[in-house]
Amino acid sequence: MRRRDFLKIAGLGFISGLFLSSVSFSFKPTRRVRWGITIDVLQCKKNRDCKVCIEACHEIHNVPDVPDPKEKVMWIWTSTFEKAFENELGPLVKETRGSDPVLLLCNHCENPPCVKVCPTGATWKREDGIVMMDYHRCIGCRYCMAACPYGSRSFNWKDNRRYIKKLNYDFPVRTKGVVEKCNLCEERISKNLLPRCVEACPYGALTFGNLNDFQSSPSRLLRERLSIVRKPHLGTLPNVFYLL
């Protein structure tokens, strides 16, 4: 083969390779659904003692109200601005707004550390972004609790059935020795209902929707207003956004 022919063929191969790779890249399927929640911090501040969403969630999911603070089980709870956004706020803001109430729940991270450490696959990330728990597979090793930087997971140290005030017969309880957390109302989403906390909020402080959908209410709000997520430097990419 002559040098000239070799260069011709090599060049042709290079160009067609470029073309093919660009085509395959553009046909890469993108995830259709990415569930997300926005929480309006200002609304929660205005109604400081409001616990409607927490009570509503814990009621339908049979979350026990354990009196011992060390053994508390929480799917959604409140903390202060200062504690929830330790590294994100400047010192002066901490003085003025540090004690504002902030609603906390599982962030359903894009890059969930709890999923990585689970040895049994009992927790995993669904296609639509929900970080799910399979209580059948959980062996209670609590690696996920150690890995979660947001404290979103609770352990059942004992049979907590007795601490459930009013049992919702349509939802299971959790047995002793498993870790539990918010499931983003997966059982309601499958029936086209909003998560209970979003639905229950009397002030419309919470919105829920598909972040990949340009028209959904959270993506509209995220375009219009400033938002922060918890501990962004960890790279977990939360799907719960706090509107400022």
C-beta of 222: minimal distance to another protein in Å?
A: 26
CB of 57 to another protein, least distance (A): 18
Check binding of 192 to another protein (CB under 8 A): no
Asked if residue 135 binds another protein (CB under 8 A), the reply is yes
CA distance 77 to 86: 17
Among 24, 190, 192, 215, binds another protein (CB under 8 A): 190
Nearest to 123 by CA among 64, 183, 71: 183
Binds another protein by CB under 8 A, chosen from 20, 120, 134, 235: 134
205-208 — which CB contacts under 8 Å span 24+ positions? 205/39, 205/40, 205/43, 205/44, 205/47, 205/103, 206/37, 206/38, 206/39, 206/40, 206/53, 206/103, 207/37, 207/38, 208/35, 208/36, 208/37
Q: Helix H segments across the chain?
A: 3-26, 41-46, 52-60, 81-84, 91-97, 113-117, 143-147, 186-189, 196-200, 217-224
CB of 32 to another protein, least distance (A): 14
Q: Is 47 in the site for another protein (CB under 8 A)?
A: no
58 binds another protein (CB under 8 A): no
Of the candidate residues 89, 132, 147, 228, the single one contacting another protein (CB under 8 A)? 132
- Binding residue (CB under 8 A) for another protein from 10, 15, 167, 193: 167
Residue 20 touching another protein (CB under 8 A):
no
Near another protein by CB under 8 A: residue from 43, 78, 80, 175: 175
- Give the DSSP letter of residue 208: E
Q: Does 108 bind another protein (CB under 8 A)?
A: no
Judged by CB, which is closer to another protein: 117, or 132?
A: 132
Partnered with residue 80 across adjacent β-strands are 101
Q: Which residues pair with 76 in a beta bridge?
A: 105
Q: Which positions touch another protein (CB under 8 A)?
A: 126, 132, 134-136, 167, 169-176, 186, 190
